[in-house]
Amino acid sequence: KDIAEEYKLFKATDPTLDEFEAKLRSFARLDDDFSLLEPRRQISALSLNAGNLTKNLRDLASKWKESFARELHSQAFARLESLSDVIKTTMKKLNREVADGDIDALGHVMRTLKEVREQQGEIELKREPITKMYAILD
Cα–Cα dist 123/87, whole Å:
9
pLDDT of 58-77, one tens digit each? 999 999 999 999 999 999 99
pLDDT at 40: 81
Q: pTM higher than 0.85 for the full model?
A: no
Express each pLDDT in 6-63 by its tens digit: 899 999 998 999 999 999 999 999 999 988 888 888 888 888 788 888 889 999 999 9
Under the banding of pLDDT at 50, 70 and 90, the label for residue 4 is: confident
How high is the pLDDT of residue 28?
Answer: 92
Q: What digits encode the pLDDT tens for the residues 100-131?
A: 888 888 888 899 899 889 888 888 999 999 99
Average pLDDT of the chain?
A: 89
Instruction: Quote the CA–CA distance of 97 and 118 in Å, as a whole number.
Output: 23
Q: Is the pLDDT of residue 1 over 70?
A: no
Q: b vs e for 80-114, b when ≥16 Cβ sit within 10 Å of the residue's Cβ?
A: beeeeeeeeebeeeeeeeeeeeeeeeeeebeebee
